[in-house]
Structure 1
Amino acid sequence: MPKGKRKGRSDRNRNDGSLHSSDDDSNNNDNLSLISNCSETRSEDGEESSELAQEQFEEKLCELLDGLSQKSSQGRTNCFQSLAKGLVKKYIPNFIRDRYFTICDSIERSLKKGGGSEKAAAAELATIICVQLGGEDTSEEIYRMLKPVLFTTICDNTVSATVRAKSCVALGTITFLTGGDLGEVIILMQQLQAIFSASYLKGDGALANVAPESAILHASALSTWNLLLTLISPGSIGGMLNTKSLPSLEKLSELLESSHLEVRMAAGEALALIYELGREEDEEFEEDFALDVTETLKQLATDSHKYRAKKDRKQQRATFRDILQFVENGTIPEVQVKFGKDLGKEVLVLDTWTKRKQYESLCNILGPSINIHLTENYLLRDIFEIAGAPPTSILPPDALRKMQRYRQRFVNAVNYKARTLSRAKNRDKRSDF
């Protein structure tokens, strides 16, 4: 082998660098420009894909709306149920506002002429569209359109107990959300009282014979009555009890002896709400009755009867411990609900029975999606006194940038999934060909 000087690794690198330095610089600059262009393109693609997803979602809702006029009763029921599930998942008041008359017409027609399951699904949808629209004038129009048929359904004893229970919840929630006239609220509460009064004790003190289906109706009527009770100003509770505009505390306490858990818990909730509102007016509100009912509350808070299901006993004890503590000492355990995403989390503090009842009622309608509505729905934010606009508009710049990165990462993941599915379909077509 010739014994010449071998080029070292450093020499080769140096020579390559010196010969092609200008080309490398241009290549690096090109790469940088390509990367920036790609990021901008992906950002634009992310916005387009989110808009496309929203358009597809609304197109699906429009198809379900068209299905509400089909001849098949089961088909209409399925459309009502699917439409309710879709409207719960997203806050889209603009979509409802443009189509509320069509939706209300379908609900009214189904409540008048539909079958049992169809009526129940229609009543449920009526509640959701009012939650979507919040405190707008349109929701008041919906209330005026649907109130007569819902009220008729509630009073009709020939209608199934399940449908009447759904109608009670629907009409009560719509009335609560639209802030109906106090006179109308009292009339509805009296009608609800006429329903759950069938669970009062008989004249000889014996328990009323109530079937499970009827017990669900009575519990729904009493729970809705409790929700409407939160609309009454504290200073008028004592006068309404004296004038018998509200049922007496003795009558409500009779429901604590019901053989059905839902009725007992709704009755305890009613007593807690009345005492909370009454004590804001007078600190010594109905103290004598509080001493009398305390023994019954203690028994329910420590109930260990084996003939009741273990889950029911646990739920009853937890609820009545809180009620007993409030009636005796005026204290209520504070419950915190965290909602929002990433750095925009907010906390809702439920420190009164009024707030707990309102939150529970909306939770039964919206389910886990209540977090979305607490963030975006201004009516719900106003009901629970959540200050300010949605949190994304008040975050500091660094937090906003971090949240945008989270969102961009999510959009990229959605795009990747859509691209993979599209390629898989094309690959299948090529193999078939």
Structure 2
Amino acid sequence: CRSVAVLAYFAAVEYTDLQESINTLHKVFSKALPKGNGELPNLQAATLLMHSAALQGFHLLLGVTYQEDVLARAPSLLAEMKSVLESRELEMRTEVGTGVALIYELARLHSPEFRWRGGGQLLEELNELATDSHKHRGKKERKHQRAVFRSVVTSIEDEEYTPETVTIGCKKAKGLLTIDSWQLKYKYDCVCHVLEMGINAHLLYNEELCTNFEVRDCSDKEGDTKKERNIQRRYNDLVQKQRILQRNKNRDNRAIASTYED
């Protein structure tokens, strides 16, 4: 699902192609929505993870949808997100939470005064998840959930995303990526999922991806120069050593020749 979303994000030529992809991903995720009785479907963990991946891909493509379309769909999407907040799967809960923050961010780009009538109750539920202390969830799970939902609540209330900087690469090849919006956060996370261990190499040497993410070059030029100086010095030392050996050899030969002449 994430691969489909990333391909559509970078390769969709027509807006209709993008809409087809986003509708397909939403259709996959919709299987996780509550039934007619209001209860969440009893799905296996693997199925929920697939639905979560589809939702992440959907949110990625939502960021390149026409703003008026996002604004029109925002109320129904927020209602859907709210209905899945109690999912038993951590990845689904956090994906829904960050999705809510993204929808608010996108809607406010088109209409700064955007409000949803169910926003007050939604914010209460988000706050509960940000301070969750239920013992039936593992300590690591609670810690991750609280961290994610604190960021979500803060961005909705303050109407801004707290920037974070990602250092890419190692040794002499380095880059800096500043993530300053939920849109960019979604793009980075989805591409990371698809490229996995290759993400560093692509963000350093794939020119199109570097430009798309606006990666800043911060290679250690001074370190490179120092390394070059060290190599040159070792080479000069080796040449000097060979010169001395050759000089001593010639001196010995001259001494032997002089002895024969005497």
TM-score when normalising by structure 1: 0.49
Change (3 A) 1:384 1:403: farther
1:366-385, aligned counterparts within 5 Å? Answer: 366-385=195-214
Distance 1:178 1:202, change over 3 A: same
Provide the rounded CA distance (Å) in 2 between the counterparts of 1:200 and 1:274. 18
The 8 Å contact of residues 176 and 218 in structure 2, kept in 1 or not, is answered as: no
Q: 1:192, CA displacement in angstroms? A: 1.4
Per-residue deviation, residues 123-180 of structure 1 (Å, max 9, x unmatched) = xxxxxxxxxxxxxxxxxxxxxxxxxxxxxxxxxxxxxxxxxxxxx2222221122244
Deviation at 1:403, TM superposition (A): 5.2
CA–CA separation in structure 1 for the residues paired with 2:140 and 2:194: 23
CA contact (8 A) 1:273 1:353 kept: yes
Highest relative contact order (Cα 8 Å, sep 6+), 1 or 2?
2
**Corresponding position: 1:295 with 2:109:** no
Q: List per-residue Cα deviations over 1:40-63 (Å, max 9, x = no partner).
A: xxxxxxxxxxxxxxxxxxxxxxxx
Q: 3-state SS of the aligned residue for 1:382?
A: helix
Other structure's SS at 2:118 match: helix
1:54-73 equivalent positions in 2, closer than 5 A: none
The answer on whether the counterparts of 1:304 and 1:313 sit within 8 Å (CA) in structure 2 is: yes
Greater helix share, 1 or 2?
A: 1
Unpaired stretches in structure 1, ≥5 consecutive residues: 1-167, 410-433
- Could you say which residue in structure 2 is the equivalent of 1:127? none
Contact 2:2–2:193 under 8 Å retained in 1: no
Cα shift readout 1:367-390 (whole Å, capped 9, x = no counterpart): 354222221111221221236xx6
Does residue 309 of the first structure (1) align with residue 138 of the second (2)?
A: yes
What is the rounded CA distance, in whole Å, between the counterparts of 1:274 and 1:405 in structure 2? Answer: 53
Q: State the distance in 2 between where 1:287 and 1:172 align.
A: 27
> Aligned-pair distance for 1:302?
1.0
Mapped to 2, the partners of 1:400 and 1:177 lie a distance apart of: 34
Q: How far is the alpha carbon of 1:272 from its aligned partner?
A: 1.2
1:323 maps onto 2:152 in alignment: yes
SS at match of 2:21: helix
Alignment-derived partner of residue 99 in structure 2: 270
Question: Compared with structure 1, are the counterparts of its residues 380 and 198 closer, same or farther at alpha carbon in structure 2 (3 Å cutoff)?
Answer: same
Equivalent pairs counted in the alignment come to 233
In the TM superposition, what whole-angstrom CA distance separates every residue of 1:31-88 from its partner, at most 9, and x where no partner exists?
A: xxxxxxxxxxxxxxxxxxxxxxxxxxxxxxxxxxxxxxxxxxxxxxxxxxxxxxxxxx
Identity %: 31
Residue of structure 2 in register with 1:74 after alignment: none
Deviation at 1:331, TM superposition (A): 2.9
Alignment TM-score, normalising by the size of structure 2: 0.79
Which letter does structure 2 place at the counterpart of 1:222?
L
Residue 175 (structure 1) aligned with residue 17 (structure 2): no
Match of 2:239 in 1: none
- Is the alpha carbon distance of 1:369 and 1:403 closer, same or farther for their aligned partners in structure 2, counting shifts above 3 Å? farther
| SS at 1:238 equivalent | helix
1:204 to 19, 29, 37: 37
Q: How far apart in 2 are the matches of 1:369 and 1:283? A: 38
Cα distance in 2 for residues equivalent to 1:193 and 1:320: 23
Residue 183 to residue 312, structure 1, CA distance change in 2 (3 Å): same
Runs of 4+ in 1 over 6 A off after TM superposition: none
TM-superposed deviation, 1:199: 1.4
Q: Which runs of 5+ in 2 are unaligned?
A: 233-262
Match of 1:347 in 2: 176
SS at match of 2:176: strand
